[in-house]
Structure 1
Amino acid sequence: MARLPGIASSGVSPLVFTLLLGLMVGNLPLARRLSGVAPGLQFATRWLLRSGIVLFGLSLTLQQIVGLGPAIIALDVLVVSVVLVTGYLIGTQILKLDRDTALLTSAGSAICGAAAILATESMIRARPAATSMAVATVVLFGSLSILVYPLIYPLTQMHEGLFGIYIGATVHEVAQVVAVGDAIGPEALTNAVIVKLVRVMLLVPFLLVIGQWWHRRQVRDGEFPATRGSLVIPWFAFGFLAMVVLNSIVALPALLHQGLVTSGQITLAMAMAALGYETRLEKLRALGIKPFLLALMLFVLLLIGGGLITPWLMR
């Protein structure tokens, strides 16, 4: 479906379609009577999800990171940190969203869209409705980026390569970055993809930090029993890192590499379908408009804040 003419050029991820299909099937009257599917859903949302994140590491190499220099890493760290902290505080303190929805929406906007939301969900075990809503916001405003960024390009007075860096540092999904970069030009596309993949790389330290922080909050709030020396380690994040290193030092045969990348996309799609299947529409309606307001604020922050900070850091 994602490769159909007209859709393929839009940057819409296959994960979006699997979420929608899972949501449709899961809300059919028949689905409520299929109790035997629970073990498969749990396997998909836990093991297939983590396997997909690990294989996602084959999309990045260390050479790509080093090639653009330390300023790129500083830019991505700044963007991710500001969006995460701002989004979580606005979501929980001003909009009064639950912590799950605020964190997932912020992670999707800050790092790499649906993949970041899925990875974060596997750490905090969020409600399926919160995960689905966060993905919906990323899809909406990431798709809006595809329309907005080419329109503002002539107004920014950035050269093509610098605008590509801006795209990679601020657009939500990898597929959306490719769509926007391609609309600007080849130099913009190259820089945008590399900068975006560096943002993807920041998923590993983010998961390490969020795992510890979330665990301590659960202990403090009495939601989780305190255990001496307990340490929440996202082992799949290290698997992701190992795949990046492997992809950097070993030239895998093209057919094998493509097969592994495709397998990762399929496992993530199955995990997303399972999350959609477990999401009830009445729970989505209960979340209301506030998650979209949060995502809109973060979209504006990325668009304007990123447009100001990118030329300043890269001068």
Structure 2
Amino acid sequence: MPRPALASRPQSPDTKTPRRAPLTWLGVLPGLLLCATIAAVATVIGHLVPVLGAAIPAVLIGVIVAVVRRPSGRLAGGVRFASSRVLQCAVVLLGAGLSIDSVLRVGARSAPVMLLSLAVCVLAAWWLGRALRIDAGLVTLIGVGTAICGASAIAAVSPVIRAKSSQVAYAVSTIFLFNILAIGAFPLIGHLLGMSPQAFGLFAGTAVNDTSSVVAAATVYGAAALEFAVVVKLVRTLMIIPVSVGLAFLQARRGQERSGFSLGRLVRLVPWFLVGFVVLALVNSAGAIPPAVAEVLSGVSGFLVAIALAGIGLSTDLTAIRSAGWRPLALGGMLSVLVAATTLTSMAFAGCL
């Protein structure tokens, strides 16, 4: 999966975005150490106040630091690395505590709820976008970002629809705002409705759009919720493939240049961390991972999640969020609420609440 783009100050359509230089360990280390320090403080807070865990403090501390002074220069590369690659490594390690049989069962159970919420979100995005008179490209980006997996879906779809850099920045900023809100709101909703860990995992994995926010919200709710939510989320992430292919065909039918969807390009859309997660689950199913080792890997994964969420918080760009204007934010907010409501309704009918 392409690396999620960070929210940045929107540019004019004619402005080219400079290509980032490849990251090196020396370039990553300063920002990564900052995120690890915040994660360590958040972990201590989580031990003192178990109901918070480490996830919410890590995000909040990161946001506060970013509001005072957003990391840039030598720190930016490490913060970007923490919020993307470190999170993906944490997801891979979660596979060590699951069997492939449980992964398949959870995936099959979540598919109807997930597909219904995705369809409702895509259709609502098209209708609401027209009603709010938002550019079609921006509507598409916000719609797939909310329906599938946030900034990762936006990054995957933007070259297919030839989105402008300003549209990508607006969409990522909008999605980012509702990611942060979901981390605090979803556990409260789960407790108010008396959800079991499995029910909350299905709810968060289906209704929260970005992997980082799914992991954060589920971590607050408990280890069992986290395992369930990650499986649901990874199944949902695969929807990038049919959605991207469908958009490519729509572009071709509109008379635009063909996107050239090859088998290689389809394979590249499959997230590497999803493959790693499944491989570890297979290894664990074969009994090759002792329980003590699985427990250690689970603890390492939890700390990596805190590091990643510190990076997410440090990436907060209030200027970009304000620059997005009220229409994209209104669209993102309405779609987020609609997806959550659709998920809860379908879970109730399916007897999953």
Contact kept, 8 Å, 1:138 with 1:295, in 2: the verdict is: no
Matches within 5 A, 1:135-150: 135-150=176-191
Deviations 1:33-66 (A, max 9, x none): x6xx6xx857975898357436523334433333
In the alignment, structure 1 residue 94 sits paired with structure 2 residue 131: yes
CA distance in 2, matches of 1:48, 1:148: 26
What secondary structure is seen at the aligned counterpart in 1 of 2:270? helix
1:1-315 alignment to 2 at 5 Å? 1=38, 2-3=42-43, 4=45, 8-9=52-53, 12=56, 14=58, 17-18=61-62, 21-22=65-66, 24-26=68-70, 49=84, 52-53=87-88, 56-60=91-95, 61=98, 62-68=100-106, 70-83=108-121, 85-90=122-127, 92-98=129-135, 102-103=139-140, 105-107=142-144, 109-111=146-148, 116-123=149-156, 124=158, 127-153=168-194, 160=196, 163-164=199-200, 167-168=203-204, 170-172=206-208, 173-179=214-220, 181=221, 190=224, 192-213=225-246, 226=258, 232-233=265-266, 235=268, 237-251=270-284, 252=289, 253-254=293-294, 255=296, 258-259=299-300, 262-263=303-304, 266=307, 270=311, 272=312, 276=316, 279=317, 281=319, 283-314=320-351
Residues 79 and 306 in structure 1, CA contact (< 8 A), matched pair in contact too: yes
Q: 1:133 to 1:295 in 2, by over 3 A?
A: closer
287 and 170 in structure 1: CA distance in 2 versus 1, 3 angstrom threshold: same
Judge conservation of contact 2:241–2:269 (CA < 8 Å) in 1: no
Provide the C-alpha distance between the structure 2 equivalents of 1:216 and 1:51, rounded to a whole number of angstroms.
Answer: 34
- Using the aligned pairs only, state the percent identity: 16
Structure with more helix by fraction: 1
CA pair 149-290 structure 1, distance change in 2 beyond 3 A: farther
Q: CA deviation at 1:176?
A: 1.8
Partner secondary structure for residue 237 of structure 1: coil
> Conserved in 2, the CA contact under 8 Å of 1:133 and 1:284?
yes
Of stretches 238-247 and 163-172 in structure 1, the one that deviates more from structure 2 is 163-172
Instruction: For residues 139-190 of structure 1, give each alpha carbon's deviation from its aligned partner in whole angstroms, at most 9, with x where no partner exists.
Output: 224423333443344xxxxx857854663455522322343x45xxxxxx74
TM norm structure 1 = 0.65
Paired position in structure 2 for 1:185: none
* Residues 56 and 211 of structure 1, relative CA distance in 2, 3 Å threshold: farther
Structure 2 segments unaligned to the other structure (5+ residues)? 1-37, 160-164, 209-213
Count matched residues. 283
CA 1:48–1:140 in 2, change beyond 3 Å: closer, same or farther? closer
Counterpart CA distance in 2 for 1:72 and 1:45 is 31
The letter of the residue matching 1:75 is V
Q: Structure 1: where are the runs of 5+ without partners?
A: 154-158, 183-188
> What's the secondary structure of 1:96's corresponding residue?
coil
Instruction: Determine helix, strand or coil for the equivalent of 2:133.
Output: coil
> Does the C-alpha gap of structure 1 residues 249 and 86 become closer, same or farther in structure 2, counting only changes over 3 Å?
same
CA distance in 2, matches of 1:20, 1:222: 47
The two structures, once aligned, show a CA RMSD in angstroms of: 4.5
Q: Contact 2:150 / 2:172 at 8 angstroms: preserved in 1?
A: yes
8 Å contact kept, 1:133–1:291? yes
Partners of 1:15 and 1:213 in 2: CA distance: 35
- CA-to-aligned-CA distance 1:108-157 (integer Å, 9 cap, x gap): 5445xxxx32322442376345323311122224423333443344xxxx
Q: Give how far 1:298 is off.
A: 3.0
Letter in 2 for 1:25: R
Q: 1:161 to 1:44 in 2, by over 3 A?
A: closer
Please say if residues 88 and 106 of structure 1, whose CA atoms lie closer than 8 Å, have aligned partners that are also in contact: yes
- The Cα of 1:16 is off from its aligned counterpart by 6.2
Q: Distance in 1 between matches of 2:277 and 2:175?
A: 27
AA in 1 matched with 2:118: V
What TM-score results when the alignment is normalised by the length of structure 2?
A: 0.59
